[in-house]
Amino acid sequence: MLSTMRKVCSTSARSLRPVVSSTSILTRNAHQAKAQAPSTSASSGDDLKLVNGSVLKNPRTEYKMVRHYQGKVKGVILDWAGTVLDCGVYSPAVVFLEVFKTEGVPITMEEAREPMGAHKKVHIRKITQMETVRRRWFEKFGRFANEEDVERMFTNFVPLQIGCLLDYTQMITGAVDTANFLRHNMGLKIGSTTGFTTPMVDVLKKAAAKEGYVPDVYVAADEVPQARPYPYMVWLNAIRLDVNPIEAIVKVDDTADGVKEGTSAGCWSVGLAKTGNYVALNEEEIAALSVEDYERKLKRSYDILANAGAHYVIDTINELPPVIEDINRRLAAGEKP
Ligand SMILES: [Mg+2]
């Protein structure tokens, strides 16, 4: 009994020994090994096996410092369609309908919109992977859609999209004034990300500039290894804007993948429910809705964006300034996104 207790005590004493002793032993062993035997690759390998997790702890300090950014928001990254222009995100949706109709496999507006936010080629691939579309494709061709089909449809998509983009460049009411307020009154830099590719962004930025909206930087979906929901477009914005740390950035978007782009980048992520892909109506159509339809559609949109992980969901870009103020308060309190 006594010997068992001694054994337990000595084991527990050993486990409570300061980390320093174990590290010292390791150091001494390494020195001894050097002194006793000429260094060979084999003996170096043996020494390395002695290393255990204890060396990862600093044995000579009792505290470790945790770094917190407590400054303010420095930059916002705004999506394009459904965020600053094209309320209801009609421009890509109608082209997806057209591209699948040309293939002889028409899709519904809901199917066309579901993967919205992704790179447009990824979007086409995701539509072909939907169970309903797969079934209709099989009924038509006796096989499922393959990558060759996706490539062909994307090739068809590009000129159609560029051709009709200008029809859907109307700025969302208040977006230009809000962007100006963010820049001039709140001192923020303005970046942009999108599921559109560079030639499409070129069309959008010229049209938006005529209306007075000019972000500081542009990043298109084809400029990064993978677009949304991956973080690369946000990080490329941070570099081009020369803004850090990532906690000082707020990403704003109307789609779930756009919200995830922000959270996966490590910044604050804000969803816009009313003007985007899930209410899926332009401003005149929204104004004509019954109260019941409006509330139902808006609540569904809020749910989708909140479930995607948004830190905030608001109706439109025009409610962004108070959100920035609240994020500033949370940052000052030591909170991270
Ligand atoms: Mg959008």
Percent of the chain whose pLDDT exceeds 90: 80
- 3-state percent helix, strand, coil for the chain, nearest multiple of 5: 60, 5, 35
Cα 302 from Cα 254, distance rounded (Å): 10
Q: Write down the pLDDT at residue 19.
A: 43
Q: Write down the pLDDT at residue 215.
A: 98
pLDDT at 56 > cutoff 80: no
pLDDT at 181 > cutoff 50: yes
48 falls in which pLDDT band (50, 70, 90)?
low
Instruction: Give residue 135 CA to ligand 1 midpoint distance, Å.
Output: 28
Cα 263 from Cα 195, distance rounded (Å): 17
**Mean pLDDT of all residues belonging to the chain:** 89
Instruction: Give residue 143 CA to ligand 1 midpoint distance, Å.
Output: 33
Q: Which residue has the tokens 């919109």?
A: 113
Q: Write down the pLDDT at residue 64.
A: 80
Q: Write down the pLDDT at residue 52.
A: 67
pLDDT at 12 > cutoff 90: no
Q: Write down the pLDDT at residue 58.
A: 72
**Are the C-beta atoms of 83 and 172 separated by less than 8 Å?**
yes
Burial of 72 (0-12, 13-18, 19+ CB in 10 A): middle
CA dihedral sign, ordered 111, 112, 117, 120: positive
Span 130-142, mean pLDDT?
98
Residues contacting residue 297 through CB under 8 Å, at least 6 positions apart: 278, 279, 280, 281, 289
Instruction: Give residue 90 CA to ligand 1 midpoint distance, Å.
Output: 10
Q: Write down the pLDDT at residue 60.
A: 79
Q: For 266-294, what is each residue's pLDDT tens digit?
A: 999 999 999 999 999 999 999 999 999 99
Active site residue 222: no
Instruction: Give residue 252 CA to ligand 1 midpoint distance, Å.
Output: 9
Number of CB atoms found within 10 A of residue 197's CB:
21
SS3 190: strand
Instruction: Give residue 134 CA to ligand 1 midpoint distance, Å.
Output: 26
Nearest CA to 337 among 246, 237, 238, 267?
Answer: 267
pLDDT at 22 > cutoff 60: no
Catalytic residue among 74, 120, 189, 205: 120
Residue 246 CA, distance from chain mean position: 12
Instruction: Give residue 204 CA to ligand 1 midpoint distance, Å.
Output: 13
Instruction: Give residue 103 CA to ligand 1 midpoint distance, Å.
Output: 26
Question: Which comes out higher in pLDDT, residue 333 or 64?
Answer: 333
- Kindly report the CA angle at 194 between 190 and 199, in degrees rounded to 5? 105
61 falls in which pLDDT band (50, 70, 90)?
confident
Residue 151 CA, distance from chain mean position: 25
Question: Which comes out higher in pLDDT, residue 246 or 15?
Answer: 246
Q: Write down the pLDDT at residue 47.
A: 58
Span 80-100, mean pLDDT?
96
20 falls in which pLDDT band (50, 70, 90)?
very low
Instruction: Give residue 251 CA to ligand 1 midpoint distance, Å.
Output: 12
Active site residue 251: no
